Amino acid sequence: MTTTRGQGERLPAALRTEALEQLLTERGLIDPKVMNGIITTYETSVGPLNGAKVVAKAWTDPEYRRRLLADGTAAIKELGFSGQQGEHIVVVENTATTHNVVVCTLCSCYPWPVLGLPPSWYKDPAYRARIVREPRTVLAEMGLVLSDDVRIVVRDSTSEVRWLVLPERPAGTEHLSEEELVPLVTRDAMVGVAKAGTP
């Protein structure tokens, strides 16, 4: 549905969203604090935390890593993470010579069970168009500078296949347990626009 004003002038999506939120709040149908809490949880905790647990297990358990790369959906489900937007997840591994980065060029297909809600930049038309044409430049603009000898592979998520990046395990983490590795894994590293953190 398109909201219009005056002579068919369209309100920007952000204004329409804000107006709808204000109307629902005024009528007592939603509590903005509760809504903000839910959004924050999905953006920073529940989804990305699930993915971080998957990655940490793959880093510490070679057999699980093998299963994850062979059938991402099934291996992720072993840890209890499944559901809508996670029906078919393919996992690709970043290495010293190959770096994978994920985009959805048509909309914003994204593996919600392991990453939560997609960030605003992932849905931005500029990211969706430019990461395909000039991935090295876009990654550098986002803070990830890769050397010229690293091959970049752009993976296009669709409603049939959602990609998840298994980032490289950071050097110097060999002594860390699976639980200690989890905080090093960020959503951005699992999309491929960043590397995993260091201790």
> Is 109 an annotated catalytic residue?
yes
Is 109 annotated to bind a ligand? Reply is yes
Cα–Cα dist 32/6, whole Å: 29
170 in Cβ contact with 181 (< 8 Å) = no
70 and 142 Cβ atoms separated by less than 8 Å = no
What does DSSP say about strands 162-166 and 89-93: parallel, antiparallel, or unpaired?
parallel
3-class DSSP assignment, residue 100 = strand
Residue 160: is it exposed, middle or buried by C-beta count within 10 angstroms (0-12/13-18/19+)? Answer: exposed
Residue 104 assigned to a binding site: yes
Residue 159 appears among annotated catalytic residues: no
Catalytic residue among 45, 107, 159, 177: 107
Active-site residue flag, 147: no
Only one residue has tokens 């299963």, namely: 67
In the residue annotation, 177 being an active-site residue is answered as no
Residue 5: phi, psi to the nearest 5? Answer: -145, 155
32's enclosing H/E stretch is: helix 32-44
Round to whole Å and give the CA distance between 63 and 98: 22
Catalytically annotated residues = 104, 107-109
Q: Which residues are annotated as a binding site for Fe(3+)?
A: 104, 107-109
Q: Which residues are annotated as a binding site?
A: 104, 107-109
